[in-house]
Chain A
Amino acid sequence: DAKTTQPPSMDCAEGRAANLPCNHSTISGNEYVYWYRQIHSQGPQYIIHGLKNNETNEMASLIITEDRKSSTLILPHATLRDTAVYYCIALNPNTGNQFYFGTGTSLTVIP
């Protein structure tokens, strides 16, 4: 599975869009990009995933570059409850490999 690289920490003002980058330059054609988040020692929570196309759900948007070497998770209107560690994972779900969560990006939403 492709290795992902995320900044260790970011800040965002409440009400503004939070843009969390992820680099996965070695991603292969069958690997999806998944995003999870973990709020203060709770169990991680699924946010969104995608392969090639941009995706949007009620929680966030996922923008994947055309070459698929990087992606951005967008929280359109960040709230204090979005303060969490965000994990970007690249994985081919058909290989038998497991999710590798890494250390993620610690997002702090500032009032």
Chain B
Amino acid sequence: EAQVTQNPRYLITVTGKKLTVTCSQNMNHEYMSWYRQDPGLGLRQIYYSMNVEVTDKGDVPEGYKVSRKEKRNFPLILESPSPNQTSLYFCASSLSYGSYEQYFGPGTRLTVT
């Protein structure tokens, strides 16, 4: 089944404890991205990747890192999480940048205390 998977789905952590949210797609997509969603603010893009080893900042990249070493994986790294990073996170992929259809993962709900 073609899909985007994220792990974990739910995470409660403490301020400053490094964490990684994994994202993987099995559709051989070139383009991947991360979004966060907060009440009243809609979906905001954090980082995106046009292809392996090519990443760029989205609208809200502060406090996040990403890497794209393999085409299928695009992990989101929070080196020192803070409470303002409590949010719902979505990973997405598409065949290439500009493809009309992005496929989204199920979401990761992160709480930083």
Residues of A within 8 A of B (CB): 32, 34, 36, 41-46, 49, 87, 93-94, 96, 98-104
Contacts and interface: CB of A to CB of B under 8 A. Distances in A.
Contacts of B41: 103
Contacts of B99: 93
A36 to B, nearest CB: 8
A86 to B, nearest CB: 12
A103 to B, nearest CB: 4
B5 to A, nearest CB: 11
Interface string B75-113: 000000000000010101000011111111111000000
A7 B18 CA distance: 39
Interface of B: 4, 33, 35, 40-45, 48, 58-59, 88, 90, 92, 97-107
A43 B105 contact: yes
A46 B40 contact: no
A101 B42 contact: yes
Given A46-B100, A93-B100, A41 B88 contact: yes
23 contacts: A41-B88, A42-B107, A43-B4, A43-B104, A44-B90, A44-B104, A46-B101, A46-B102, A49-B100, A87-B43, A93-B97, A93-B98, A93-B100, A94-B98, A96-B97, A98-B33, A98-B45, A98-B59, A99-B45, A100-B45, A100-B59, A101-B35, A101-B43
Given A34-B100, A46-B100, A93-B97, A98 B106 contact: no
Nearest to A85: B42
A43 B100 contact: no
Contact of A45 (B45, B88, B98, B104): B104
Contacts of B100: 32, 34, 46, 49, 93
B90 A43 contact: yes
Contacts of B42: 87, 101-104
Contacts of B107: 41-43
B32 to A, nearest CB: 12
